[in-house]
Amino acid sequence: MYKVVIAEDDRIIRKALLKADWESIGAQVVGEASNGQDALTVIEEEKPHLLITDINMPFVSGIDLAKQVREKLEPTRIIFLTGYDDFEYLHEALLLKSDDYLLKPVKLPKLLDKAKQALDTWQKENSKSEQLATSLPLLQEAFLSDLLYSESHYTDEEINEQLEKLDLSLKASSFVVYTISVPEQDWLEALYKKSVPVTQTNTIKVIPFHGTELFILAAVTHDAYDQLVQIKNSVKELEKEKGTAFQMIQSSVYDKRTDIKKALLEVRMERMSKLADSSDTEETHSLAQLTQNHKEELEQIESFIRLFKTDTFTLSENKKIGVNLSTFISKRIHQFAATDKEDTNQIELLERIVAAKNKDELYAHIKGLLDKWQERLSAEEKRLTEDSVVTRAKNIVDDYYKDPELNLNTLAQEIHVTVPYLSQQFKAEVGMNFTEYLLKKRMEKAKQLLKEASLKTYEIAGEVGYQNAYYFSSSFKKYTGLTPTAYKKQQSESQ
């Protein structure tokens, strides 16, 4: 139901307007006032879809009332009521983008017809606004992603145009960029919902990025600082709630908003560098984890490297990026280096980058390093394929099946993976669960010993990981259908 407010100083006219069949156009009158001042109070409380107001009222005129409504409630539609003597105000009324004006005395059918047209206009405009509000974060994210990873080169004019179009323009020319990284997408949504309400137009912009990251564009002003403090408090609250720390990185201060690409690149490079420093270098990652993490990084690095061949940055700026890239890639290569000889001579490489005479030479140095990383990654993928978690688990069982303490929990601890993960992988690759595999290993070894060795049952039990001979005999019978003594006799008679 649409909400309508009527402001008219003539009591008889006002009461007549209230008796109109508003329900027939899906509306209801939620407030009335005899002057502009009272009307403004009602409007601020009810936030109506439509205001019907007399032009000439005491205290606050209909024109002044409409001006304040336009400042505070832009979507509200307005219809003016006017007498013959009020035509001097009509020009100003039209400038306020009113939907229409009606000459007194007002005929109710005509009023309802004009009101319906105004409300239909509100519905169309509101639908557009809702669609824009829903799609705007996606469009903003796409633009930032394009700046970071696309080979396209934006001119300053094009960047300014996109910033204005996507509501990313800040009121101050100096700005900084923050990035906040969270482990899970629903946490990002929670942080985004907490951050957006505290921001003000043209002071701070908050953009969700690729599911687990939040970009914040902040003007260098006192207002922005106060809002950033509130956002940081929200981050701390969420960290406390989730029991984990998020990564927050700040760029340098930039003086031109067209430098947004440089600011984004700076925080992204810093984020990747910290990721390399904190990454787990043990050889216990699954093939899927290794492939996902490193290939995503490779794609980002390759997009950065392509920038070297564009005119986006000067040679000096490209060298700065190149130093950061080489440091990051070298750390990644070091994870796969089997010997010191295979490791990258970082100092020598940095000297070559700094001494590069042009972009092509710089590109060649970094591209060579990137190729080496890809080679190491391919080799690691092959190694993990040949030496999977399950293969290592089976090798341990082959060597330690005699240990009565060997079980799924101790095995998972030994190869540094979780019990559920090992159990799932083992079943998928071997076709039986771990307990069944260990039992088969022990029983087959027991059968071999019963055939070949003159050992007593309790001795064989100890040889295959059983501390209790009775329990061993019971397990053996369930597995073969015979007791150890009967099985040994059967084998002797068959020879």
Compute and round to an integer the Cα radius of gyration of the chain.
37
Reference 396, options 421, 426, 420, 432; nearest CA is 426
Classify 2-126 by CATH class: alpha beta
Which carries the bigger pLDDT value, residue 194 or residue 78?
A: 78
Q: What is the pLDDT of residue 30?
A: 93
Q: How confident is the model at residue 292 (pLDDT cuts 50, 70, 90)?
A: low
Supply the DSSP symbol for 308. Answer: G
Q: Which residues 6+ apart lie within 8 Å of 229 measured at CB? A: none
Rounded to an integer, the average pLDDT of 176-197 is 81
pLDDT level of residue 336 (50, 70, 90 thresholds):
low
Helices 389-400 and 419-430: angle between axes, nearest 10 degrees: 90
State the pairing for strand pair 100-103/77-82.
Answer: parallel
The mean pLDDT value of the chain amounts to 80
* Residue 155 scores a pLDDT above 90: no
Q: Where in the sequence of the chain do the CATH 1.10.10.60 domains occur?
A: 389-494
Does 129 have pLDDT greater than 70? no
Q: Which fold has domain 156-278?
A: TATA-Binding Protein (3.30.310)
Q: What is the mean pLDDT of residues 150-179?
A: 85
User: Residue 97: which region, alpha, beta or left (left: phi > 0; alpha: psi -120 to 50)?
Assistant: left
Asked whether the predicted pLDDT for residue 196 surpasses 90, the reply is: no
| pTM (two decimals) | 0.45
pLDDT for 176 equals 92
Q: Is pLDDT of 287 > 50?
A: no
Question: Mean of the pLDDT values across residues 300-305?
Answer: 72
The architecture (CATH level 2) of 389-494 comes to Orthogonal Bundle (1.10)
pLDDT at 15: 92
Of 291-300, 310-319, 417-426, the poorest mean pLDDT is in 291-300
User: Does pLDDT of 242 surpass 90?
Assistant: no
Over 80: is that where the pLDDT of 290 sits?
A: no
Q: Pairing state of beta strands 204-209 and 213-219?
A: antiparallel
The residue type found at 400 is: Y
Domain with CATH 3.30.310 in the chain: 156-278
The 10s digit of each residue's pLDDT in 449-466 is 988 878 888 899 999 999
Edge-first strand order for the sheet with 247-250 is: 204-209, 213-219, 175-181, 247-250
